[in-house]
Structure 1
Amino acid sequence: MAEVHEVLSPYEALCQGVALNPEGIAAQDSRQVLTYSELLARVQALATGLTQQAPDNKRIGLCARNCADNLVAYLAILSAGLVWVPINPKNGRTLNQKLIEKSQLSMVIADCESQSEIPDGSYKVLLLDSKDGNSCQALIEQFMDQQFKPASIGPDDILAIKFTGGSTGEPKGVMQSCSNMMAVMQSLLTVFEFNGDDCNLAVAPLSHGASHYVLPILAVGGRHLLLETPDIASIQQGFSEQGATVSFMPPTLIYKLLDDPNTTSATFPSLRHLTYSAAPMPLPRIQQALDILGRKLSTVYGQTEAPMVISALPPKAMTRPDLQESVGRAGPFCDIAILDKNHNPLPAGQVGEIAARGDIVMSGYLGQPEKTQEVFTKSESHWLLTGDLGYLSDEGYLFIKGRASDVIISGGFNIYPAEVEDALMAIDGIRECVVFSTEDDYWGEKLEAAVCLTEQSRLDQNQIIHQLKEKLGPVKTPKQIYLLQSLPRNPVGKVVRKDVRKVIEKQQVPAEYAR
């Protein structure tokens, strides 16, 4: 790993990359290639322009596909000491309206394609990829030759507001400080040892977890290859022909990549590690990835309130069979504890709520002090309650059992959906699944599952239930199983458990498809 001096702001991280590799490629997409010197000049010019037009609350929304212009705008907002509010174009206008209102934006930057997902309002809209007078390009040209003065940014200054919970409830704005960002950057550099030869294939939306890869790659003089339309062919090409060495993806996209007949070990000539997060990966899929990729699969665990590196399992540890269901050890800037219902720590091996503390933890929820207090313990230790259940091994490896809110109590027994889902995914012929419950007079909560089969699978419900009973016993075997074509997902690809029943009703699954 290239030597990384202590940097105190995103702008300093960018400048360090410029010093290491001034004429090297910093960012590229299908339309343009930017060297580090060019990227810095564009960031400085746009930051100067945005400073003059910034709203009083300093919050600027950014709604765009993955592209070099998106990266420039992101870095310019942070370099100007403004507040970045990412908006995923795939959210839809209704949710985006909520996010804009909650963050009280008076300016939104959007690319031309995503502009339709921004509802009309009193806020100003700057176009990202247009050359008219109301655009980022016009500001860059206007201020390109002016001297740039970096903003004075303190460690506690809020640089980002990222929303969480919009698909499962009322969205909450997570405030992330400068020290949060720098801790996440340094954590990723430490765990994954990025270097100047690395090329990050940016596939997942920069509005979410993939944004955390931006600064560490730039800080060491590496390259970002940004995919605007991440179809399987372009992902394969990014690895096979354009030299991508690292990437971050949700498991579902990795499955599509690995299942494609054109994907072989030769597809990844330069790969150092492919990291998954946002959802667990079942053991058969992990083994499939290891067979094709080699010892180059890794995972990280985090949430918006504590981004990316609550824990991490690097590629070398992933090869240990006893650790492949783990999400690794605590990150460099995070402590982990397992707490009981009274928020007392539990010993190794006992399941409780996963709690985190450290520099990666958020400052709080925007305008919601009561909600903020609810997710922190009242003790001096001030643990963030993640809402996830899990346990720590004797070696300090974290194993997740599922969301506390997802636990199903059926016939008096506590059932973790994740355990049942892992058993389902271990059955040959099942492509994906989700376990849920419905109210029942006899069971209290009746355990059910929705399953999507592979194209070649000839499984029926009887066969699935028989195999599950052998693995889990009758208590943890779903009473009904539905065969579906697809599962409901939110804009970042996570399955929305509460919406499965709606999909079942919409697809009008015949009675004989339930057992």
Structure 2
Amino acid sequence: MIDPEAMSTMSAVSRSAAQRVPDKICNRFEGRDTTFAEFDRHVDQVASALDASSAKVVAYLGKNCDHVFEIFVGTTRSGGKFAPLNWRLAPAEIIEILRQYPPDILFFGPEFTAAVGEIAEALPNIQILAMEGGDGPWPTFEAWRDAQPAVPFSDRSSSSDPALVLFTSGTTGVPKAVLISHGNLLQPKLDSLPVKHIYDHWDDDDIGLIAMPLAHIGGIGFWIISFVNACTSVIQREFDPAGALDAIHRERVSKIFVVPAALQIVIQHPNAADVDFSCIQTVMYGAAPMPLPLLQEAIEVIGCKFVQCYGMTETTGTIAILPPEDHSTEGSARMRSAGRPAMGCEIAVFDPAGKPVKTGEIGEVAVRAPANMLGYWKNPEATAKTLRDDGWLLSGDAGYLDEDGYLYIHDRIKDMIISGGENVYPAEVESALYAHPAIREAAVIGVPDAKWGEAVRAVVTLKPDATLDETEVLNWMRGKLAAFKCPKAIDVIDVMPRNASGKLLKRDLRAPHWEGRERQVN
């Protein structure tokens, strides 16, 4: 249950829940339960400790942990901002991020002692604390926290203040730091209260599974939804399909947010056949395209309501929702869409000149909403390119709106292929390839072609024990897509190249074909 009076800051949400449901479990993590009253008391101690050291920027390097949320809310209560780092990054990448966005204090998880040693040597002015005891000279979080008295600490934040710093994936260059305010995090949930929006509305006995990384809006944002509803969160240190299935079966989890790749692993896991999925009421999915065959399989296996959530870090998560009524095991055209605008969101599609296009025409997707970021930290140039003066945020995604207001995403603008003057969006071709019984993953790229400028080429990985007949697949594709969209050739590889966040690196697939050319377009 959301308390509308407490939806100004994360600190206010915490204080309200502690007063209304003090003995209810807030976080459950590896055998440790923390009630809402205990959580808020720890938040006071964290705020006092940060205030004593004048720390205003706090970072965390590590996997999911219940104490991280105490640090997050405690940092905001003391008037600071919290920055979770992607633990999949190499130490050199993390050091470069911290050079550009230096924190006052860095907390780290037990798996990253070696990496923190390198960070400490490169950046000696950052105070470092360990989440758990172990090797190294650093004090532990609990000792640091519990040295402070458990007395109320007055909230020093306001709705417009930055609360959270999330870093873009950084497929090229150093990731940008996205500044997200308390209002960005909370106002959309407040706006959805009158209609009990399925994404934000939870019943008092709902239980959420937090399995996605906290350095991504899908991870920390889903915990926030559970938290503002004063519901219990079951936290996994990292995504593990067997662990997720066990949590569903044992903890009777009712709400899940998951990326498509993780959902596929869960429903195809050998243990899935023995799990009682009847407790799950809603599966929310997003952060990557969901192939239709996988979605149909998931609906059949789990048998609950499915909700697609389209958004990005810069919009503090969801801006468009495809509700359960638009999902079916038979499939429909709308299941290929990202849904309609979420409550309080305006979505438009612009041409390269920044003007709205006609219904059904492809352009760049833009959003105007209360959850749009404040901007990029210390990067006004990048902010100006993304946030227009009239409030529209340019997504970088190519898509169109149909006559009913449903949004269809084709691809990233930069990934579009132009072949013979025709625009080809790789995601559309990849979705068709995915339906082939031999193909596990598919990536579509543009390669140089003397006649057409660019030619469509597919790169795929295969399912176990599968083989691929290129001619057969190409003929099969021609029955599904226009000829100019169909691949001219298919490469089979063992593993797709990905960055530390798990995003596909198409530039690595393109590179051999464009070597020696001045531009990556033809």
State the TM-score, normalized to the length of structure 2. 0.90
Structure 1 position 165, deviation (Å): 4.0
CA deviations over 1:150-184 (Å, ceiling 9, x no partner): 23222221122211142233321111122111125
Structure 1 position 224, deviation (Å): 0.9
Q: Is 1:377 the counterpart of 2:388 in the alignment?
A: yes
> Match for 1:124 among 97, 118, 127?
127
Q: In 2, Cα distance between the equivalents of 1:188 and 1:229?
A: 30
- Residues 340-379 of structure 1 aligned to structure 2 (within 5 Å): 340-378=351-389
Provide structure 2 residue ranges, at least 5 long, that are not aligned to the other structure: 515-522
User: Corresponding residue for 1:93?
Assistant: 91
> Match for 2:266 among 243, 257, 269?
257
Q: Which moved more, 1:432-441 or 1:277-286?
A: 432-441
Q: In 1, Cα distance between the equivalents of 2:391 and 2:225?
A: 28
What's the secondary structure of 1:402's corresponding residue?
Answer: strand
Residues 292, 363 of structure 1: alpha-carbon distance in 2 compared, 3 angstrom cutoff: same
Q: Is 1:293 the counterpart of 2:302 in the alignment?
A: yes
**Counterpart residue identity of residue 209, structure 2:** L
Q: In 2, Cα distance between the equivalents of 1:314 and 1:228?
A: 29
Q: In 1, Cα distance between the equivalents of 2:512 and 2:245?
A: 32
Provide structure 1 residue ranges, at least 5 long, that are not aligned to the other structure: 506-515
**Counterpart residue identity of residue 201, structure 1:** L
Q: Is 1:42 the counterpart of 2:51 in the alignment?
A: no
User: Corresponding residue for 2:490?
Assistant: 481
Structure 1 position 503, deviation (Å): 9.9
User: Corresponding residue for 2:176?
Assistant: 172
Q: Is 1:15 the counterpart of 2:15 in the alignment?
A: yes
- Residues 321-340 of structure 1 aligned to structure 2 (within 5 Å): 321-340=332-351
Residues 64, 503 of structure 1: alpha-carbon distance in 2 compared, 3 angstrom cutoff: farther
Count of residue pairs brought into register by the alignment = 500
Residues 137, 264 of structure 1: alpha-carbon distance in 2 compared, 3 angstrom cutoff: same
Q: In 2, Cα distance between the equivalents of 1:349 and 1:181?
A: 31
Q: In 2, Cα distance between the equivalents of 1:273 and 1:214?
A: 15
Structure 1 position 185, deviation (Å): 4.3
Percent identity, aligned pairs only?
Answer: 27
**Does the Cα contact within 8 Å between 1:187 and 1:309 map onto a contact in 2?**
no
**Counterpart residue identity of residue 375, structure 1:** T
Residues 475, 338 of structure 1: alpha-carbon distance in 2 compared, 3 angstrom cutoff: same
- Residues 128-167 of structure 1 aligned to structure 2 (within 5 Å): 128-130=131-133, 134-145=139-150, 147-167=151-171
What's the secondary structure of 1:360's corresponding residue?
Answer: coil
Q: In 2, Cα distance between the equivalents of 1:318 and 1:15?
A: 38
Q: Cα RMSD (Å) of the superposition?
A: 2.3
User: Corresponding residue for 1:416?
Assistant: 425
Q: Is 1:311 the counterpart of 2:320 in the alignment?
A: yes
Q: In 2, Cα distance between the equivalents of 1:211 and 1:503?
A: 37
> Match for 2:256 among 242, 247, 252?
247
**Does the Cα contact within 8 Å between 2:448 and 2:513 map onto a contact in 1?**
no
> Match for 1:235 among 244, 248, 271?
244
Structure 1 position 187, deviation (Å): 6.3
**Counterpart residue identity of residue 373, structure 2:** M
CA deviations over 1:274-330 (Å, ceiling 9, x no partner): 111111111111111111122422111111111212111232333372321111111
Residues 456, 20 of structure 1: alpha-carbon distance in 2 compared, 3 angstrom cutoff: farther
**Counterpart residue identity of residue 7, structure 1:** M
Q: Is 1:497 the counterpart of 2:506 in the alignment?
A: yes
Q: Which moved more, 1:266-275 or 1:203-212?
A: 266-275
Q: In 2, Cα distance between the equivalents of 1:504 and 1:126?
A: 47
What's the secondary structure of 1:341's corresponding residue?
Answer: coil
CA deviations over 1:472-494 (Å, ceiling 9, x no partner): 24321212211122212223322
User: Corresponding residue for 1:111?
Assistant: 109
Q: Which moved more, 1:433-442 or 1:351-360?
A: 433-442
Q: In 2, Cα distance between the equivalents of 1:210 and 1:184?
A: 17
**Does the Cα contact within 8 Å between 1:250 and 1:493 map onto a contact in 2?**
no
What's the secondary structure of 1:387's corresponding residue?
Answer: strand
Structure 1 position 501, deviation (Å): 4.8
Q: Is 1:226 the counterpart of 2:235 in the alignment?
A: yes
**Does the Cα contact within 8 Å between 1:202 and 1:226 map onto a contact in 2?**
yes
Q: Which moved more, 1:182-191 or 1:411-420?
A: 182-191
User: Corresponding residue for 2:455?
Assistant: 446
What's the secondary structure of 1:113's corresponding residue?
Answer: helix
**Counterpart residue identity of residue 127, structure 1:** A
Structure 1 position 423, deviation (Å): 0.8
**Counterpart residue identity of residue 155, structure 1:** S
Q: In 2, Cα distance between the equivalents of 1:322 and 1:474?
A: 21
User: Corresponding residue for 1:198?
Assistant: 206
Q: Which moved more, 1:349-358 or 1:12-21?
A: 12-21
Q: Which moved more, 1:438-447 or 1:223-232?
A: 438-447
Q: Is 1:432 the counterpart of 2:435 in the alignment?
A: no
Q: Is 1:387 the counterpart of 2:396 in the alignment?
A: yes
Q: In 1, Cα distance between the equivalents of 2:318 and 2:94?
A: 27
Q: In 2, Cα distance between the equivalents of 1:188 and 1:276?
A: 19
Q: In 2, Cα distance between the equivalents of 1:64 and 1:475?
A: 46
User: Corresponding residue for 1:509?
Assistant: none
CA deviations over 1:431-478 (Å, ceiling 9, x no partner): 111111223333322321111111143332222111112212432121
**Does the Cα contact within 8 Å between 2:129 and 2:138 map onto a contact in 1?**
no
CA deviations over 1:385-436 (Å, ceiling 9, x no partner): 1111111122211111111111111222211101100110122232111111
**Does the Cα contact within 8 Å between 2:10 and 2:73 map onto a contact in 1?**
yes
Q: Which moved more, 1:203-212 or 1:31-40?
A: 31-40
Structure 1 position 109, deviation (Å): 1.0
State the TM-score, normalized to the length of structure 1. 0.91
